[in-house]
Amino acid sequence: MKARIRKSQRRRKLRYDIIIVFFIALAALQFWTLKSFYKELKIEIPQNLFKSFINFPLSENIRGKETELADFRNKDPDDATGADSESGSDSALATTEEFSDIGETTTANETGAFELSDEQKKIVLRVMKLLEEDIEYQYQFYADTGYPDDKYWISTDVVSVVLKDCGYDLMELVYDDMSKHIDAYPMNIKGSKNPDKKTDFRVVYFQQKFFQRNALELPTEFDASDPANILQWQPGDIVYFTVDAENPGKNIAGMLSNHSSPEGVPLVIMITKDLGKITEINALAEMEVSGHYRYPYPELNQ
């Protein structure tokens, strides 16, 4: 009886040993196969993969020709005066930042090179910074501040917030101009007789009318084959696009970027319902421009 038990145990142990050897051999085979068909790869992540190119040289703010750089000095934009508008929309208070302050103008220097004013350079830097911000398209009414918060914007908020952060409070400027020259504004479109300080600067046709009256009005057609025309499309310029010719309230606003398309067409930084967020797009090649302005109005050097 004991002999049978020992014999059975030996058989069971032998089966276990066979199974263990089998799995060891299988693992060794898999290891050999992997080693034979695969090579060790060394992947290096580029150092600038997660870096954002923020502080680009100011010389890159000029499109078409070289520019003569000017030194910046810091400014605290407490005396902000500017305005912003879009059809049926309002905005909340935008966060202000410090920008350099030397108020010169867009002009040609003695060597014939075209240069942006220091005010325009500040505007360009603020416009480019929008691409780093997490802003979504949505209309909200901001009864207390008029300006939008840092979350939900409409297209005209791109213009109003950028200018406000650079010292031009469009809410105050538009309201003041409308109050003094109410007949110059298309009040019939809105169906109101009196200006509304907290909303009108975001209404697109009111905002565009303000710039028609107070900014440098520029060509609405871009011609990449004409150097003189190219020079009139500079970063920071304000542009308006026709979406529905029968409904000016659907027009949208944007600002020219420091970048161009491969064909040399200036890109536009804007936000729309279709885009959903602040985006840099080739709008000049795809949409009809209804207005092109430079603000503040440049003063030519004497």
Query: Taking the CB of residue 244, how many other CB atoms lie within 10 A of it?
Result: 9
Whether the pLDDT of residue 230 is over 90: the answer is: yes
* pLDDT at site 137: 97
pLDDT: which is higher, 239 or 21: 239
Say if residue 66's pLDDT is above 50. Answer: no
Mean pLDDT computed over 283-296: 96
Residue 53, pLDDT score: 41
Instruction: Report pLDDT for 38.
Output: 62
Long-range CB pairs of 178-187, under 8 A, 24+ apart, other chains included: 178/206, 178/210, 181/213, 184/209, 184/213, 185/209, 186/248
For residue 264, the SS3 value is coil
Q: So what's the pLDDT on residue 46?
A: 54
Over residues 231-241, the mean pLDDT reads 97
Each domain of the chain, given as residue ranges in start order, spans: 58-294
Residue 69 — pLDDT band, cuts 50, 70, 90? very low
Cα gap 155→207, rounded to integer Å: 11
Question: What average pLDDT does this structure show over 34-55?
Answer: 54
pLDDT of residue 21: 87
Q: What is the pLDDT of residues 139-159, one digit of tens each?
A: 999 988 999 988 999 999 999
Q: Which residue has the higher pLDDT, 150 or 99?
A: 150
Mean pLDDT of 26-49: 67
The proportion of the chain whose per-residue pLDDT surpasses 90, expressed as a percent, equals 54
- CA separation, residue 138 to residues 141, 152, 169, 248 (Å): 10, 5, 22, 19
- Contact by Cβ (8 Å): 271, 279: yes
Average pLDDT over residues 208-225: 96
Token pair, residue 19, equals: 């199974």
Q: What average pLDDT does the segment 43-68 reach? A: 46
Predicted pLDDT of residue 49: 46
pLDDT of residue 95: 36
Weakest mean pLDDT among 33-47, 152-166, 248-262, 278-292? 33-47
Confidence of residue 30 (pLDDT cuts 50, 70, 90): confident
Q: What is the mean pLDDT of residues 21-32?
A: 86
- Mean pLDDT taken over the chain: 79
Determine the average pLDDT of the residues in 236-255: 94
Q: Is a pLDDT exceeding 50 seen at residue 86?
A: no
What does the pLDDT average to over 219-243? 96
Percent pLDDT > 70 in the chain is 73
Half-sphere exposure of 138 (CA within 13 A, CB side): 11
Residue 48 one-letter amino acid: N
At residue 74, the pLDDT reads 39
